[in-house]
Amino acid sequence: MQRLRLMALLAAVPIFFSLNDSFAQLSAEDALDAQDASLQTSIDTQKRVNALDDATRDLLNEYRSTMAQIEDLGAYNDQLEQLVATQRVEIADYERQFQEIEITKRRILPLIVRMIDVLDEFVGIDIPYLETERGMRIAELKKLMARPEVPTSEKYRRVTEAYQIELEYGHTIEAYEGEMTFNNETRTVAFLRFGRLGLYYMTLDGLEIGYWDNTSDEWVVLDDGYRQSLDRAIRIARKQLPPDLIRLPIPAPEDRT
């Protein structure tokens, strides 16, 4: 009986070791699988960490770029505020100047009109030289004043230009041909203007000479003793002869303003 038990026990020992080897082999495979799973989990976790690290780095770079843009915008806004403040000052100055210009225009326009009237009056009392030319100049100035599209500066320039022309008449001599009325007779003669001191004439045939008398406001015939001198003076004014001393009667100056 005991022998039977011993044989059964001995028979069970190989079975036990066989089962034990199988269990050990199964446990090793499970351990490797678990290790592989753990390693894969670690890899996946590292990938997620790396991805999060890249995203964090991208967000950090984007944050820094945004902050830099904000700083640039802040500096730009400061410059704009300074520019706007400067422009406000300039606009205020322009508005003040514009108001002053408007006031000046309101004052200068009547002045220009008065200048033209004075010029017209002056030509009327002056010795009668270049009457057509001077009259047309004044008429053009009066037409100019009636044109609203012409700037005030241009009107003032034209009037001062006319004054300058009249001023130059007093410092020059001039010979020209024109018509004159004498004893109810109109004829073409050669005129000699000697500044504003004297205005003389000579008929084209040279037979009659005379001058304008400011006192009587009429033409006066000169005697033949001045014919040669007047002829030479006309030639000098036309640059046909060199300058020379000329003997001519000069009316006494008269204040007719």
Residue 21 has pLDDT above 50, yes or no: yes
pLDDT tens readout for residues 221-246:
999 999 999 999 999 999 999 988 88
The pLDDT, as a whole number, for residue 142 is 96
Three-class HEC string of 35-48: HHHHHHHHHHHHHH
Whose tokens are 């706007």? That residue is: 84
Three-class HEC string of 157-208: HHHHHHHHHHHHHCCCEEEEEEEEEECCEEEEEEEEEECCCEEEEEECCCCC
Q: What is the C-alpha R_g of the chain?
A: 59
For residues 49 and 140, the model is more confident at 140
Question: How far is 121 from 214, CA to CA, in rounded Å?
Answer: 16
pLDDT tens readout for residues 125-177:
999 999 999 999 999 999 999 998 999 889 999 999 999 999 999 889 999 99
pLDDT tens readout for residues 178-201:
998 888 888 999 999 999 889 999
The pLDDT, as a whole number, for residue 9 is 44
